[in-house]
Structure formats: C-alpha cells, structure tokens
Amino acid sequence: MPTFYGKDIASRLMLGTAQYPSPAILADAFRQSQAGIATVSVRREAGGEQAGQDFWQLIQDLGVAVLPNTAGCHSVREAVTTAQMARELFDTNWIKLEVIGHADTLQPDPFGLVEAAAQLSEDGFEVFPYCTEDLVLCEKLVEVGCRVLMPWGAPIGTGLGLNNIYGLRTLRAHFPDIPLVVDAGLGVPSQAAHAIELGYDAVLLNTAVAKAGDPVAMAKGFALAVEAGALAAAADPMEPRDMAAPSTPVLGKAFL
C-alpha cells in the first residue's frame, strides 16, 4: 500500500468529493470505494457554524485521510493563500497543489507550479503537486521539496484514460523511490487498473464516479480495479511479444 510523507494509506484509490448527486450518495460511494484519501476543495468549506460545517462533518465521518486542494487557482499567490487557509481549516500540512495555466485543458502552469511548490515546502507543507508527465518539470518539483508526484492521465474530467503511456512509464523508471499517483482523466476502472499495473502507487479521480449513472456501483468497480492492478503488477506479468506462441505444448504430439 502507498506511503505518502511517512503516512501509510490502506488503499491505492484516492477519491474527490465534488459533483455527487447527494451527500448520501457521496458517503455510500466512499464506503464502496474503500478509498484511503478524500480530496476536498477549500471553497466548499466555511468557518464557525456556517453551512460548510455539515459537509466537513460528513467528510470526517468517512474516517479517511483528508487532502485539501487548491482547485481553481490560476496564480502562485492564489494557490499559496488557499493552501494556508486549508491548513487552518483542516489542521494538516498536506496540500494537493493545483496552479492552472490553461483554461480549456486545465493543464497546470509548470512555472507557477514549481514556484508555489517551493514556497509551500519552505513553509512546512507536504505538497502533492498536480502536474503533467513532463520529466523535467517533475525533476524541478522534487528539487524544491515535493516527495510525491501526481501526473495527469488526461485532462481533468475527460475520461480519456492514460494518454501518454511512454511518459508515465518514463516517470516511474526515473523516480523509483518517489510515490507516483495518476491524477485526473480516468473514466473507467480498467484505466485505473492499467495505471497500477504500470507501477503507480495510487490513482486519484472524481468525475468518473460522481457523474456515473450509479456512482456507488462505479466506486466499487474502481476499488476492485486497483486491487486487480496491484495483484497483476506484483505477479511479474509476461512481456508483450510480436509473434504468436502456442499455449499448448507441441512436444510429443503425433504428426499424421
């Protein structure tokens, strides 16, 4: 099971908390997913006795680790300020760092991401950066203090799966000791299983479950998928080959 900043997590599935049809469905989906981490946007919370307390109580009742995020932030200043607010609200140094650079694809701004990660790391945060699979960008993030990398599979909410298998494999090979999480773009459980088969430590998703016709059933599907992917990865799978190879031995076969 994955370990993030010294904390062991009981599941390879991380799940977002937005867009569910109702709080009850959100809670049921989390239970079926067996997710070990819930990501939460600061914008959904409020201090004191305001409305956000009901949502926060729901998340606490799930009994999972909470990973606040800076979703929707488009500048370093906005992301850093949001992270500081999150630390006060949730009493955690964990932060999923998003600095969006492109409005249509929601691709992260690599320059702002590294700058914000450096500032937050210096301030004692344990940063989970939402990034692309760019090797140079990921090296810079590690250099400024990130001990987890979260490359996208595809743009947020698209369900396109793993668009750049080569890039994801390259990251896994280059960072054998850094926990890697595929974050964003997964649409069906088979894509999550593939990410784990590639050696990734976990996957993070939201829309694929929350917007499914039956979010609870889809959550269970993803739970089974990450388990299957982990079993396959540990079983030392066969290498693909170009030519067919008979599965039934021909030795001793009669030739007529």
Catalytic machinery residues: 96
What token pair was written down for 195? 């990410």
Judged on CB neighbours under 10 Å (0-12, 13-18, 19+), 52 is: middle
Contact call for residues 129 and 141 (beta carbons, < 8 A): yes
Question: What DSSP string runs through 83-128?
Answer: HHHHHHHH--SEEEE--B--TTT--B-HHHHHHHHHHHHHTT-EEE
Chain position carrying tokens 């949730």: 90
What token pair was written down for 81? 């300020």
- The candidate with the shortest Cα–Cα distance to 160, out of 238, 111, 106, is 106
> How many angstroms separate the most distant Cα atoms in the chain?
86
Distances (CA, A) of 156 to 144, 162, 172, 246: 25, 12, 21, 42
H-helix segments, the chain: 23-33, 52-62, 76-90, 110-122, 135-143, 165-174, 189-197, 207-210, 215-234
DSSP 8-state assignment for residue 251: T
What token pair was written down for 9? 């997590």
